[in-house]
Amino acid sequence: MRLTRECDYGFVVLVFLARQGRDRVIACDEIAAHLSMPYDFLAKILQKLTRAGLVASKQGPHGGYVLARDPVEIRFTDVFRAIDDPLLLVECVEPQNCRCPRVPLCSIIETMHVLHQKLAAVFDSVTVADLVPVSCEEPVGKGAP
C-alpha cells in the first residue's frame, strides 16, 4: 500500500497549518512557497481538505487557509478519505462496489476483511497532532517571531 503524492502533500500541508496555530490565516501562495509545492496542485489539495471540513478557507485580501479543527481531532482516515477516498485494502471490502468475478470462490476474502478492519483502526488512531514534530511547534513564515 502506498499513499498518493496528493495525500502525502495533504498531510504535509495539515502539519504546516497545525504548526501555525488556528488563528493565523495563510495564503495558498505562501504555503506553496514555504513547502516547495506547485501552486495549482496545492490549490486542488486545499480545496479537497476544505470540502471535507478539515481546513477553513477565508476570502478577501487577507484570505487564505487555517485548520478548521484541532489537530488532535483530524484523523489519518479523515485526510485519506478527503483526498483518496475510499480507504480500501482490496476492492471486495465494499461488497456493493466489488466487481471481482472471483468473490464466490475467493479463499482470502475473510482474511482481507479482518486486515482491512485492523488497518482502518490504526488509521483512525493517528491524528495530525501525532505528525507534528515536538521540536517544530514554532510558527514559520511571514509574521513569525
Dihedral sign from CA coordinates of 116, 3, 50, 134: positive
Intervals of the chain under pLDDT 70 = 1, 135-145
Residue 99 has a pLDDT of 80
The pLDDT score that the predictor gives to residue 128 is 95
Question: Residue 111 and residue 119: Cα distance in Å, rounded?
Answer: 12
Tell whether 81 is covered by a domain: yes
- Predicted confidence at residue 61, as pLDDT, reads 85
H-assigned helices in the chain: 5-20, 28-35, 39-51, 76-84, 109-125, 128-131
Q: Quick one: pLDDT at residue 141?
A: 53
The pLDDT tens digits for 114-124 are 888 898 899 89
| CATH number reported for the structural domain that contains residue 57 in this entry | 1.10.10.10
Q: What is the predicted pLDDT for the residue at 144?
A: 46
Query: Is 110 inside a domain boundary?
Result: no
Mean pLDDT taken over the chain: 86
- The answer to whether residue 19 is domain-embedded is yes
Residue 41: per-residue pLDDT: 97
Whether residue 90 lies inside any domain: the answer is no
Looking at the domain assignment, is residue 95 inside a domain? no
Residue 106 lies in a domain: no
User: What is each CA distance from 110 to 86, 117, 126, 137, 143, in whole angstroms?
Assistant: 19, 11, 25, 43, 54
Instruction: Look at residue 143 in the predicted model and tell me its pLDDT.
Output: 46
Range of the domain at 14: 5-85+127-136
What CA–CA distance (Å, rounded) separates 23 from 26?
Answer: 10
* Structural domain includes residue 59: yes
